[in-house]
Chain A
Amino acid sequence: MHDVKTDVALDSAWSGGKSPFAIGSKKLGMWLFIISDTLTFSALLITYSYCRLTNPDWPRPFPIFPAIAFSTTMTVILLASSLTMVMAVMASQRNDRKKTVMWLVATMIGGLLFTGLHLTEWMNMIYKEGFTITGNPEGTPLFGAVFFGITGLHMTHVMIGVIYLGIVAVGYGRGKFSAEDVEVNGLYWHFVDLVWMFVFPMIYLMSVKY
């Protein structure tokens, strides 16, 4: 039950004293960060799209195995880690600390697996196939720049996300963080997943080797 004062505040959301969006400042801050980061990735991906369509000699270096099989597995792993993150948020809202930490650790494992597979693929491309950020064995050299630039920026986000998950897992396990902190962490992790949903088809699937 609300008292009269609270009811007045609820009725006048835009008059101050209460978030008009009915969320905490941490969550609103994370949403605003996500929007700004969306625009960073969008600028890169829009530029990539124009480069991809205007270069007829765009290389197609990704055969079904190992590149597409690897990247599809990475996509499924990242999606699965998003599901474990959802479970962590749900457990934190039930104040189940043990299960929250367990699901957060599962999400971290997903992130680490993704990064491990991604780095394996990078090493293969750099040392065995001769792709670098300034050139490739075939086609326009722009490919190396956009591939390593965009996937590298995404991988950096994943690695930061894994560290962030670790900090929240330890803090929440010790009772220093609240369920809201887990939820805000979840927003960041889902965003990382969401960006990959554009990077995977636009970068990999637009350059498959038949």
Chain B
Amino acid sequence: MSSEAHAVEAHAGASVATNIAIWIGLVAITFLEVFLAYKDLEPRLMLTILVILSVVKAAMIMSYFMHLKYEKFSLVLLLIPATIFCLCMMFIFFYPEAFRLLQMRPH
């Protein structure tokens, strides 16, 4: 693809039909989450499943509604790895206290 064609695509973004399809997908995942909430799963497993589904929804919103899929890849590299790094740091530094709380949990 030539750079000009790429630039045109970058400004075009997703079509109306694609955006509506993404919206339907987001609503469907929401109803799946509500359905899962009534399955009485163990809280840790439940939270893991819900966070994974939320990350999928976030990726759909960022890629299509926020046009990140159609931006230059350098912007994605600027934003996403830095965010993931900061989130990992949060998990690492919050973890010792959380571990202590888990040990203190009444049985």
Contact = CB atoms under 8 A, between A and B. Distances in A.
Interface of A: 10, 13, 20-23, 28, 31, 35, 38-39, 42-43, 46-47, 49-50, 52-56, 64, 68, 72, 75-76, 79-80, 82-83, 85-87, 90, 93, 183, 186-187, 190-191, 193-194, 197-198, 200-202, 204-206, 208, 210
Given A50-B101, A190-B66, A201-B54, 15 more contacts: A35-B83, A39-B86, A46-B90, A50-B94, A52-B47, A79-B26, A79-B30, A83-B20, A90-B13, A190-B62, A191-B66, A194-B58, A201-B33, A208-B37, A210-B38
Interface in B60-107: 61-62, 65-67, 71-72, 74-75, 78-79, 82-83, 86-87, 90-91, 94, 97-98, 101-102, 104-106
B44 A53 contact: yes
Contacts of A31: 75, 78-79
Interface size class of B (residues with CB under 8 A): 35 or more
Name which of B20, B37, B66, B106 has the most chain A CB atoms within 10 A of its CB. B66
Name which of B10, B53, B83, B102 has the most chain A CB atoms within 10 A of its CB. B83
7 contacts: A39-B90, A50-B97, A194-B62, A197-B54, A200-B33, A202-B54, A205-B50
Contacts of B75: 21-23, 28, 31
Contact of A22 (B10, B33, B58, B86): B10
Contact of A56 (B78, B82, B105): B105
A56 B106 contact: yes
Given A202-B50, A202-B54, A23 B71 contact: yes
Contacts of B43: 52-53, 206
